[in-house]
Amino acid sequence: MKPYQFENLILLMGTNPLPNYVIADYFLQENQNISKIWLIYSKENNLQGGTLTYAENLEKIISHKWKKVHPSLEFPLEKVGLSDVSRAMTIQSEIKKSRLKEGAKEASFHLNYTGGTKSMSTHIYWILRDFSKEEIIGNISFSYLDARNFRLVSDDDNQIIENDLRKKICLPFEDMIGLHGYQILTKKKNTEKFEKAAQIFKEYVDHNTTKERRNKIKQCEEGGKWLEVYIANKLEQKKLEHLTKEISTYVEIRQNISMKHPKWAGGRSNFEMDVMVVYGYQLTGISCTVQDVSMKCKQKGFEVILRSKQIGGDESKSILITGSDKYQTELLQQQLIVDTGGNTKNIKVFGLDDLRKEKYFFKELKRFIFTE
């Protein structure tokens, strides 16, 4: 049995629903026989946080895309709540009591165990394998999403089902933030035009620009808004000029968007992202500042890393562009990596010296965003 020939897809809901969307979308593209998607989530109680909201967010986006074009898929999606995701006996009992085993002897199942906690995925993996042996359910196959290289891997024979899913799964930015429960407040109209931003950029990076004039640019030009305008527009140009048609099809670039979470009270917790690049389903958040003060730059770095993960999940990348010199830039990158548990593949800091080498800068920017 091929890994994608089954009627029932089982997904485990953790606090990052993005991998589950990727898996569901891929299999729905490849398999017209899927009739049910089971979302196994944790119930909120004194023992654990709940993930039902993430399951509902996922269902909403799957329904919007697939309800009319995948006629065999039943809505609403099946949801199974677990009261204790750390106890195998509780999981086994609650799955047996669910509708999962109704008519299951003749049906085939596929579990992708990327989501959920490690204990949850381990327990459910072995429970479902035992169910199949005991003929409580029919045949079952397994897979996982390798987040390091975006591959979908079959657990049964360790074969790669699909390479680099970023070229297969295209998730619009609104749907990405919707998965995590965020909403776009406003798409702010930036008064800065690219021509003006390019002029300021040229003067700012010029070696002949005096320190006094550069400080005046920092103080008067909206704290670097011109820089995000310039970066976003140049990235759009570079996308069209230098990326292959195959890759550019899956690239979306957004600038200066304000977002909120409906559970946040008041307006103080709303946040903005300067520039966002979505490659397939991977988000890269970019924060731009002309500041060269270490502490202020570091705060901007922490924020872009936090916000990128909040709306793009663990697969996201973060870029900080500052006015710092080479030494401060390298030190800042090392500090952000150590303090946030990141690495050079998902955190990158650029400084004034990089901006002065414009061709090199955009080459490195492109390499960081579009490679593993």
Q: Is residue 308 part of a domain?
A: yes
Q: Which residues, in sequence order, are bridge partners of residue 8? A: 36, 109
Same domain, 136 and 219: no
Model pTM? 0.90
Last residue of a domain, one of 112, 137, 169: 169
Same domain, 273 and 304: yes
Same domain, 334 and 274: yes
User: How many structural domains comprise the chain?
Assistant: 2
Same domain, 22 and 103: yes
Decide: helix, strand or coil at residue 97. Answer: helix
Q: Is residue 88 part of a domain?
A: yes
**Domain range enclosing 268:** 174-370
- Residues 6 or more apart in contact with residue 288 via CB below 8 angstroms: 224, 227, 228, 231, 274, 275, 321
CATH number at residue 231: 3.40.1350.10
Same domain, 212 and 284: yes
Last residue of a domain, one of 169, 204, 235: 169
CATH number at residue 145: 3.40.50.10770
Backbone angles phi, psi at 114, to 5 degrees: -70, -40
Q: Is residue 331 part of a domain?
A: yes
Q: Is residue 3 part of a domain?
A: no
Cα–Cα distance, 266 to 260 (Å, whole number): 10
Cα–Cα distance, 61 to 63 (Å, whole number): 5
**Is the separation of the CB atoms in 76 and 112 below 8 Å?**
no
Tens-binned pLDDT, residue by residue, of the chain (372 aa): 455 689 999 999 999 999 999 999 999 999 999 999 999 999 999 989 999 999 999 999 999 999 999 989 999 999 999 999 989 899 989 988 888 877 677 789 999 999 988 888 999 999 999 988 988 888 999 999 998 889 999 987 778 899 999 999 999 999 999 999 998 886 655 555 878 888 888 988 898 888 888 777 777 655 568 899 999 999 988 776 656 666 677 899 999 888 888 777 665 568 889 999 999 999 999 999 988 888 999 999 999 999 999 889 888 999 999 999 999 999 999 999 999 999 999 999 999 999 999 999 999 999 999 887
| Chain mean position to CA 145 | 13
- pLDDT score at 322: 93
